[in-house]
Amino acid sequence: MGKGDHIILNHYEKLAKSFGEGPHCTMQDQVIRQKEIQFFTQEITRFCESKSKPSKILDVGCGNGYLLEVLEKSFPNYTLGGLEFSPHLFEIAKNRGLERAVVKQGDCREKEFWPHKVDLVITERVIINLLSWEEQSKAFQNIADLLHEGGLYLMSESFRTPWIQLNKGRKEMLMDEIPISPHNRYLSDKLSSVLDRMGLKEIEGIWPSNYLSTHFYLSRIFSGAVKPKGGVGKNTLFLEFFNEALPSGIGNFSPILFRVFKKVA
């Protein structure tokens, strides 16, 4: 057991009981969830179009299997796998009725956590659930070791610097700071150089890494600043309108960054 594993397991047990198979299970903001899915599917499509044979894709920390179900429908010719640490989420994923994806319970901190090498690894707000850098570093190294040369690691993970910027924006509007959740440890700006030493070289993605910044500013700062007393706070027409009216990726207000790394020799 790692540092704070009981915090992680208790948190996801509650989510599993509350949301089951639903898309809200690990992310209640569905704008973020759908954009994450689009990021993954577009990058997978770009990667696989350059391959001469079907690819092996692994979702590390697959949760309740929601993303795997989407990937099954989107990529019928690829081999899919999912690894999940939480026994409660694993049971939901296992019983989801996935037709091709193989789901295993396991721990990405353990060496050889998956039985064979793969072409592409996904983590969706997973590494931040490891509550020490030692554990996060182990997971990153294991992911690097698991990838074939030329393979991709796609991450949607949270970082400290934009979280600080987000809270500076909230302070300007006399709003309380959004704390980092007890079950999260956000990543450092130095990550790219660390992963480079592990053989994971960052490459340019289809979307900018700060793609969600506009949405975070609108939903976590602007909408709260202009909301009248008693007004609706979430999933509003206000947010829907401005998310469509404004370009994505303005500023550095989204802790969640989309980043792409390639396994090199």
Query: Could you tell me if residue 245 is inside a domain?
Result: no
Bridge partners of residue 260, in order along the sequence: 154, 203
pLDDT, residue 1, reads: 59
The pLDDT, as a whole number, for residue 48 is 86
Examine the pLDDT at 232 and tell me if it is beyond 90.
Answer: no
Residue 250 covered by a domain:
no
The more confident residue out of 21 and 79 is: 79
Examine residue 234 and state whether it is found in any structural domain, yes or no.
no
Q: Let me know: does 82 contact 93? Beta carbons within 8 Å.
A: yes
The beta strands (E) that lie in 139-255 are given as: 147-158, 200-203
- Mark residue 136 as left, alpha or beta (left: phi above 0; alpha: psi -120 to 50; beta: remaining): alpha
Q: Reply yes or no on whether the pLDDT at 101 is more than 70.
A: yes
Tell me if 165 is assigned to some domain: no
pLDDT at 5 exceeding the cut of 80: yes
- The token pair that represents 124 in the structure block: 């969706």
Q: What is the mean pLDDT of the chain?
A: 93
Q: Is position 150 within any domain?
A: yes
Residue 68: CATH number of its domain: 3.40.50.150
For the beta sheet containing 102-105, the strands, ordered from the edge strand earlier in sequence to the opposite edge, are 102-105, 79-84, 56-60, 118-124, 147-158, 256-263, 200-203
Beta partners for 124?
156
* CA torsion, ordered 14, 20, 22, 26, to nearest 10 deg: 30
Please tell me the predicted confidence (pLDDT) of residue 3: 64
Among 39-43, 220-224, 257-261, the minimum mean pLDDT is found in 220-224
pLDDT above 90 for 23:
no
Domain range for 153? 5-159+183-211+256-263
Contacts of 133 (CB under 8 A, 6+ apart): 185
Q: For residue 89, is it within any domain? A: yes
Would residue 50 count as lying in a domain?
yes
Is the model's pLDDT at 12 over the cut of 90? no
* pLDDT tens digit sequence for 148-185: 999 999 999 999 999 999 999 999 999 999 999 999 99
What is the pLDDT, as a whole number, of residue 16? Answer: 85
226 located within any domain? no
pTM for the predicted model, two decimal places: 0.94
- Please state the domain count of the chain: 1
Determine what percent of the chain is predicted with pLDDT higher than 70: 98
DSSP reduced 3-state for 199: coil
